[in-house]
Structure 1
Amino acid sequence: MTELPAKTGPNPTGIDVSVVIPVYNCEKYIQETVESVRAQDMHAGALEIIAVDDGSTDDSLNILNKLAADCTDLHVHSTPNSGSAAAPRNFGLERARGRYVFFLDADDKFSPNALSRLTEVADTTGSGVVLGKMGLFGEKRAGNVPSTAFGKTLFAVDFIDSKAHSTLGAWKLFRRSILMDNDIRFPLGYKIGEDQPFTMKAYLHSPHISILADQVYYWLRGRDDGTNITATGQPPSKHLCRILTLIKTIVDNTEPGERRDHLLRRPIIGAAGVKSVFGKKMLAAHDRAEREAMVKEFREVVAPLWNSNIRDHGVPESQILVDLAVRGDIDEIETVSRLLAHKKPVPLSFDEEHAQLVYEPRAGDSVGDLRVRLHQSLESITSTADGIIIRGEFGVAGLGRAPDSAHIILRHRKLGTKITSKIDISRTYTRSFGTRVRFSTDVQISKLADSGIWELFIKAKWSSMVVRERLGIARTAGMDTAPIIIGDPVEGVVFFDQSDGLSVDLGPTEKHLDPVKRHELHVVDQFEVGRSVVFVISGPVSNMKAASYQADDKSKSKPARFIVHSTDQASIVIPRSAAKKQGCAIELKDAEGNSVEIALTELRD
């Protein structure tokens, strides 16, 4: 890796950051994008904007020229259409004069303090790349907003240890000297993913990187008009070019070993790896001769690198496709591609001799050592006097055989203590996706001895092969995920944690209920019964446990009768004499002590 650079001194040009904007048919957004650069809280002359129009057919170029009129900060260039952001980014980079370069997409925007903060961190730490947290605005976006690397702010850290390698988009602050000294440019020839080898090479030649996660610094615009490049897609042959370029970048800039293997997982076995080439779109996009050439090219590059340290981190479909490609088995690759195109699972069978699941091609050895997952779907959770009843189903995709046994496991998050509960596996059904077990099991809170968070897992066993999965990550559509209170007084809370897994907080030791807001409660009826007034409340009342009333500011709070009729309806009964007073108020409390106060005048409205 590159030596730690000396503290960056003053730039002879006085420019701290060159913002390069590749532009293609963004007439609706380009002014807002440019203005977000001009709104940065940096001194005059610290920024330059290099906008490169890539042969737009709309009014983008004219808008840019108007924005640049009588201004010295915006430099507008026009080039013939290249079909991707790579060429205009390279064009802008060659003309950049700042100490740092930031590549801003023509429909995105900065937060006002983004560049000053990113530059300050780069100057202070000497990091070659500085990442700022990203956020989404506008409509839906074709891809997800990167989030893995932004759990917390980190200074001068390794790009692998910090998980920065999980985000390879170009929306970062780059030290320009590193880019120029190491000839780091965006590769041409494909339109999606050209920023991946660029960013990877910048990471590899940086002494370290820094991450700012305290706020959103870069705003990605969601567009549902289908005109942005990511939404239009590219054929599998271009994805092959993308992943092979990224593989070459990694291999050319690393030594063999764990770090290299770790980085190679993404282009080979990751979600956008081999399946984007030989997956569901291959047969429709390419003829037989093209497919054969693609397999040959992939095999030549990947076969020498393919090892268990990479392979063990892929899903079965990816493991199978790479194994077949390394063998050069185009016929079987086509079979798997056809299954994926029709949204069918790859068929698996159980190898009794080796106690493992395998894929059996028509010719050659079976493909084993697969990283299979237990596909489970949680259907409902019902509270009982001392626990919950969980209903759902599970199985392995493509496997037409039920497990020999299965259990629910509760594991204490800190202590590691485990409690198991056997699942009845007698109810099964088989479809094209494989065999599923339908289950209903009772989890008793009284069996848990230690307070704290208990995580729930489901474990299934075929002979000596065990597959375990976190329970609750997959759920039926529309399932209520609100926390469930167990016991009265409260003994525990059943909830879905940050990973979406089902957990039980015995004690409880944390707060899980979102306090009900006043605007969520509505009076649907009120009437008098003898000397009392009954208010019928509609809203999220299922976890409310008590009600009280205060006749006026000078009176003491007194218990009110509180009756819950359903998850969203309850009645509150208070004396008629108190209800008549102008300052009367009612307070509701949930099982965790959260309260919401309602003035009686509001209820009368």
Structure 2
Amino acid sequence: MSTPDISVIIGAYNAMPYLTKTLTSVVGQSIGRDRLEIITVNDGSTDGTGRELERFAAEYPGLFQVFHQENSGGPSAPRNKGLDHARGRFVFFLDADDYLGEEALERMLAMAEKNKTDVVLGKMVGVNGRGAPASMFLRNQPRTDVFSSRVYWALNPLKLIRRELIERHELRFPLGYKTCEDQLFTGMLYLKADGISVVADYDCLYIVKRDDGGNITTTTRGAESRIHVLELMVDLIEKHVPAGPDRDGLMNRHLSIDMFHALIHLAREADPELQQKNYEQLAALLERSYPDSLKAKVNAITRLRCELIQRRMLQETIELEKIDRGYRSTGVQPGVLVEGDRAYTLLPFFRDAERGIPDDIYDVTTALQDRHRLDSVTVDGGVLKMTGHAYLRRVPQDTTTTELVLRERGSKTEHRFPTTALATPDLGGSEEDGGKYRYPTAGFSAEIDLTSAADGSRLPKGLWDVLVVVRVQDVVKEIRFGHRRLPAVQAAPQTYVLADGEEKFAAALYYTHPYSNLTLDIGENLHKIADKLHVDGVRWSSSASAQLEVSGSWKLAGVPASALGVRLQSDSGTAVTTPVTARGEHGFTANMSVDGLAPGTWAVSLWLPSQHGQGWSMPVPFQPALKNTRWYRRGLPWYAAATKHSNLVLRVSRVEIVKAGVKRLRAVMNA
């Protein structure tokens, strides 16, 4: 029996009617059923789940394994049973109410095999109002880990996992938990994995919010089990990750998400003794595992929660959760106060003399959220012109100013330029925070003369990243600019030939990969002028045998076609250039007479002049179909022939009549 590539493991409890779509999505995978096995476990369902599993097994013989067992009370036991029977090189855990994109398993397996990684996350999409992790799916990540990416913020097991990794570390899901049990399993996998991949350019997994509210995470009540798993995860991290930034990064996830969820249930607890007991558990956890370095890393509301818990301010903690529930239900977050060089979020109890919470708990100076957009960008007559907007979210506009910065990537040399304010009366509106905050003066325009941008001189050769700086009083936020832009903004690189007096120079606007930020390439570091010139064909004119016709196209912005020419250059350095004639938007032709050229070899190239004989030359490739040609000059025969070089080189010479006659005579005699 051959080894399947992937074992899909599905535990199911009262999963109808969602289960049908789940199973259909698996059997329809583009990878092919011959590379799969599907292991399903009916965990004591009382609806038609068991019958549906058997129906699919009968319809696809040899593909399914179906197990029936008494209800275990949670997803761990069914998943463990699936692992006990899995034979695939990889396993994929799928919940019975979720479903896969058609190419999901094929794409994830290809990512794992290409990059030799043990775990692959596929992009998740929420259905029917269910939230889905998003921060780790901004772009494909061929090979990463939990410390240099956001993958740890998705601790569910709904991933492609190399089975050998699971068996080597003897990993199984812990029993006795209805929620959060997957964190211990997935967390250990992450820490032990030899590489993690992320497929972000395809919707792999659709996670469904059930209409009947039957998702186990929404039906399980109480804070106690959540706090217990939180304690276990903290222990796991402290055991396997040394103290420092890496540990703080993982701990941040648990305090920001898991402690938050525990507090939601703690605030609803009807038993005051149990509520106080759970609260003390959290306080004890923070006393041992909340260093100052982590305090500086978490966001402001998490920092406030931790401060209240450490001060044993239970009623304020409950009040904060009620207020935060309002933030989340309305989508309106509290405003930001800027004083000098610091910014504070106006969460509850800020500067409340009775509570005495220090200002630094509310400090968001380094975590201010910005919003920005590039609306237009071009280079016109050597001037870089841009429009767009930039602002700090929930910060009043009264004292906000912006400036544009060009920073050379290698040397870090930078030049700063003022902007002109543009009115944006509709900005804010209902886009965020229910329209509570408006940004009517966040627009700007900027014009930078590239011939004088460097303190009166031309901007030097280099890759100049474009940044926008937003300043509010003494608070400064620097924004790498361009990845958010209007659809009308040209996304393809635009290469220009610009004039600085009589001298020409090259500039290109392009967007970086993978972050898609705007950069200005001065001096052909990555974008060559010659690469934008293309020859479509070369032939001898049918009406004038000594006339060479060259046709082609060019993809340059900011330079007229009349500046381009076709040049013939001899070994001695003599050059003859013929201007091209524009044909359509990007095409051109040139008709060059070779009559009158001195005998010798002449290289053919496209030529874009600059100054003092300098410029850009793109050799015309050798043309195998170009035949020899003849013509008469002052009654004597001449010829031109393409010599066998990688580029087109013409040999021009007078026909030697005697040799030609002898050659013809020999041909006749040998006939």
TM-score, scaled to structure 1 = 0.63
SS of 1:20 mapped into structure 2: strand
1:131–1:230 CA distance, 2 compared to 1 (3 A):
farther
Where does residue 442 of structure 1 map in the other structure? Answer: 446
| Bigger RCO of structures 1 and 2 (CA < 8 A, at least 6 apart) | 1
Where does residue 413 of structure 2 map in the other structure? Answer: 417
SS of 1:209 mapped into structure 2: coil
Aligned partner (choices 503, 519, 522) of residue 503 of structure 1:
519
SS of 2:142 mapped into structure 1: coil
**Bigger Cα displacement from structure 2, 176-185 vs 71-80:** 176-185
Q: CA separation in 2, counterparts of 1:230 and 1:379? A: 44
One-letter code of the match for 1:52? V
In structure 2, the gaps of 5 or more residues are 429-434, 499-505, 532-554, 565-578, 590-617, 619-671
Indicate if the aligned counterparts of 1:324 and 1:333 stay in contact, CA closer than 8 A: no
1:101–1:149 CA distance, 2 compared to 1 (3 A):
same
Where does residue 168 of structure 1 map in the other structure? Answer: 155
CA positional deviation for 1:131: 1.9
Where does residue 209 of structure 1 map in the other structure? Answer: 194
Q: CA separation in 2, counterparts of 1:217 and 1:372? A: 28
SS of 2:190 mapped into structure 1: helix
SS of 2:247 mapped into structure 1: helix
Indicate if the aligned counterparts of 1:21 and 1:89 stay in contact, CA closer than 8 A: yes
Aligned partner (choices 393, 404, 412) of residue 397 of structure 1:
393
1:482–1:239 CA distance, 2 compared to 1 (3 A):
farther
One-letter code of the match for 1:440? F
Where does residue 257 of structure 1 map in the other structure? Answer: 243
One-letter code of the match for 1:375? D
Q: CA separation in 1, counterparts of 2:285 and 2:419? A: 47
Deviations 1:9-54 (A, max 9, x none): xx9x989975422243321341452575994666xxxx86421134
1:33-432 equivalent positions in 2, closer than 5 A: 33-34=26-27, 39=32, 49-54=38-43, 60-69=49-58, 74-79=64-69, 85-93=75-83, 95-96=84-85, 98=87, 102-105=91-94, 107-108=99-100, 111=105, 130-132=118-120, 134=122, 143=132, 147=137, 151-153=141-143, 160=147, 165=152, 167-170=154-157, 171-175=159-163, 184-186=172-174, 189-190=177-178, 194-204=181-191, 206=192, 208-211=193-196, 220-222=204-206, 234=218, 245-246=229-230, 248-252=232-236, 254-255=238-239, 257-258=243-244, 259-269=246-256, 272=257, 298-327=282-311, 328=313, 329-330=316-317, 331-352=319-340, 355-357=342-344, 359=346, 360-362=350-352, 363-365=355-357, 366=359, 367-370=361-364, 371-378=366-373, 380-383=375-378, 384-400=380-396, 402-403=398-399, 406-423=402-419, 432=436
CA positional deviation for 1:286: 7.9
Q: CA separation in 2, counterparts of 1:434 and 1:545? A: 44
CA positional deviation for 1:346: 1.9
Q: CA separation in 2, counterparts of 1:335 and 1:136? A: 29
Q: CA separation in 2, counterparts of 1:488 and 1:309? A: 51
1:369–1:33 CA distance, 2 compared to 1 (3 A):
same
Q: CA separation in 1, counterparts of 2:382 and 2:216? A: 53
Where does residue 126 of structure 1 map in the other structure? Answer: none
Indicate if the aligned counterparts of 1:454 and 1:504 stay in contact, CA closer than 8 A: yes
One-letter code of the match for 2:376? I
Indicate if the aligned counterparts of 2:401 and 2:471 stay in contact, CA closer than 8 A: yes
Indicate if the aligned counterparts of 2:4 and 2:37 stay in contact, CA closer than 8 A: yes
SS of 1:420 mapped into structure 2: strand
1:326–1:467 CA distance, 2 compared to 1 (3 A):
farther
CA positional deviation for 1:75: 2.4
One-letter code of the match for 2:491? A
Task: Check if 1:470 corresponds to 2:480.
Answer: yes
CA positional deviation for 1:434: 6.7
SS of 1:27 mapped into structure 2: helix
CA positional deviation for 1:76: 0.8
Where does residue 480 of structure 1 map in the other structure? Answer: 489
1:30–1:18 CA distance, 2 compared to 1 (3 A):
closer
One-letter code of the match for 1:130? D
TM-score, scaled to structure 2 = 0.58
Q: CA separation in 2, counterparts of 1:350 and 1:236? A: 42
One-letter code of the match for 1:257? A
In structure 1, the gaps of 5 or more residues are 1-10, 123-128, 516-539, 549-556, 565-571, 575-592, 594-605
Q: CA separation in 2, counterparts of 1:142 and 1:421? A: 42
**Bigger Cα displacement from structure 2, 21-30 vs 52-61:** 52-61
Where does residue 493 of structure 1 map in the other structure? Answer: 509
1:404–1:76 CA distance, 2 compared to 1 (3 A):
closer
**Bigger Cα displacement from structure 2, 51-60 vs 421-430:** 421-430
Q: CA separation in 1, counterparts of 2:175 and 2:27? A: 26
CA positional deviation for 1:318: 3.9
Deviations 1:510-543 (A, max 9, x none): 4699x9xxxxxxxxxxxxxxxxxxxxxxxx9999
CA positional deviation for 1:211: 4.3
Indicate if the aligned counterparts of 1:201 and 1:253 stay in contact, CA closer than 8 A: no
Where does residue 27 of structure 1 map in the other structure? Answer: 20
1:541–1:39 CA distance, 2 compared to 1 (3 A):
same
SS of 1:491 mapped into structure 2: strand
Indicate if the aligned counterparts of 2:373 and 2:484 stay in contact, CA closer than 8 A: yes
Indicate if the aligned counterparts of 2:381 and 2:558 stay in contact, CA closer than 8 A: no
Indicate if the aligned counterparts of 1:407 and 1:459 stay in contact, CA closer than 8 A: yes
CA positional deviation for 1:77: 1.7
1:293–1:385 CA distance, 2 compared to 1 (3 A):
farther
Aligned partner (choices 449, 452, 458) of residue 468 of structure 2:
458
CA positional deviation for 1:264: 0.9
One-letter code of the match for 1:492? A
1:340–1:224 CA distance, 2 compared to 1 (3 A):
closer
1:389–1:224 CA distance, 2 compared to 1 (3 A):
farther
SS of 1:30 mapped into structure 2: helix
1:177–1:502 CA distance, 2 compared to 1 (3 A):
closer
Q: CA separation in 2, counterparts of 1:350 and 1:117? A: 46
One-letter code of the match for 2:50? L
Q: CA separation in 1, counterparts of 2:80 and 2:111? A: 25
CA positional deviation for 1:65: 1.9
Percent identical across equivalent pairs? 16
One-letter code of the match for 1:442? A
The alignment of Structure 1 onto Structure 2 pairs a total of residues equal to 501
1:554-573 equivalent positions in 2, closer than 5 A: 559-562=581-584
One-letter code of the match for 2:285? V
Indicate if the aligned counterparts of 2:44 and 2:68 stay in contact, CA closer than 8 A: yes
CA positional deviation for 1:410: 1.8
SS of 1:268 mapped into structure 2: helix
Indicate if the aligned counterparts of 2:42 and 2:67 stay in contact, CA closer than 8 A: yes
SS of 2:403 mapped into structure 1: strand
Q: CA separation in 1, counterparts of 2:391 and 2:261? A: 26
1:351–1:333 CA distance, 2 compared to 1 (3 A):
farther
Q: CA separation in 2, counterparts of 1:304 and 1:470? A: 38
Q: CA separation in 1, counterparts of 2:146 and 2:90? A: 19
